[in-house]
Amino acid sequence: MARRDSELTRLSATALAARIRTGDVTATAAVETHLDRIDACDDDINAFVTVCRDASLEEAADADRALEERDEQRASVSHAGSEVTHEIGEDVGPLYGVPVALKDLGAQKAGVRHTYGLALFSDHVADRTAAIVERLEDAGAIVIGKTNTPELGHKGTTDNELIGATASPIDTDLNAGGSSGGSAAAVAAGMTPIATGSDAGGSVRIPAAACGIYGFKPTFGLVPDDRRPNAFGRETQHTTPGPITRTVEDAAMVLSVMAGPHPADPNAVPVDIDYRGALERSVDDYRIAYSPNLDVFPVTEAVETVVDDAVDALAAAGATVEPVDVDHGYTMAELSEAAMAPYATGVVTSSAP
């Protein structure tokens, strides 16, 4: 059993959910195994600000009982000769029993400590649950903890005065990136199969790259942001929640759960997209514009190599990749100056009473 349990921490969320639905693995085993993984390696990585040990185990036990009761009802009806067993008990959600970690910035869960990466808020407890967390829980996911972030998510590395720096599981001498570094490190190290992040200028993508996993910044408005008091407060920087996973399939699964309009977000886009179906579609009719440096940004040779390989892979898959010049006409200094003023204003505004 020990070897099987260790394998659970490397399964994709999609595979783990499938095994829980069939009864091959219990939700309790899934949660316990990931908690054990946190105990074994988070002292070195420092991904979690808060671990919801007791609550997650209780929720997992409830999930197992509900699944057992449903299966018993179906078995009873089937034994009686009925052909409507699928109507007995509700079908479980696509993430049923799967642990999820929440970035300790915008993904509040009522009753759980929520620090925004600030030592000043070390004892703050959320009094509400964010829309994306409600959707993940409605899909059956079990919150296993809150992950580290720099103060108010203000930089591309994860380090703060609250619990310190988060390391990349690839090399613990290196930072996990930011600002969703705790989530990326937790996923990469097998402490959770999926996690939430948020991104304006790279806060999902940077740590995903630094930790060797998959991070996706959705188009602004697809995933609701219901933070208060100012529903427009993230509009200037187009900050959006996004999934952090180990596979593209898992990202599509999580995005299909989190995305969709919400009455508390005036920027929510009322569209219906089949994210999981996109995994099977051809890219033959895709035209992809490619700029190696957006005309101005310095790029190291190692990064250039990785990006060039990705561009070649897209072309080999059938997409048309077209190199382009952006022609924006600005220097790096001018772009930085233009971006920092509204960003700093947004941070100050969001933290004001």
Q: Of the listed 56, 183, 203, 256, which one is catalytic? A: 203
Residues with Cβ within 8 Å of 233's Cβ and at least 6 positions away in sequence, in order, are 227, 346, 349, 350
- 203 is known as an active-site residue: yes
Q: Of the listed 103, 109, 155, 217, which one is catalytic? A: 103
H/E element holding 162? none
Main-chain phi, psi angles of 283, to 5 degrees: -105, 15
Q: What angle do CA 201, 204, 208 make, to 5 degrees?
A: 125
- 78 is known as an active-site residue: no
DSSP string, 278-318: GGGS--TT-EEEE-SSTTT----HHHHHHHHHHHHHHHHTT
Q: Of the listed 12, 56, 179, 183, which one is catalytic? A: 179
- 103 is known as an active-site residue: yes
CB atoms within 10 A of CB 182: 36
Residues with Cβ within 8 Å of 67's Cβ and at least 6 positions away in sequence, in order, are 20, 21, 23, 27, 92, 96, 97
Burial-class residue 237 by CB neighbours within 10 Å (0-12, 13-18, 19+): middle
Residues with Cβ within 8 Å of 211's Cβ and at least 6 positions away in sequence, in order, are 168, 169, 170, 176, 177, 181, 184, 185, 187, 188
What is d(CA 183, CA 191) in angstroms, rounded to the nearest whole number?
10
Q: What angle do CA 337, 157, 339 make, to 5 degrees?
A: 15
Catalytic residue IDs: 103, 179, 203
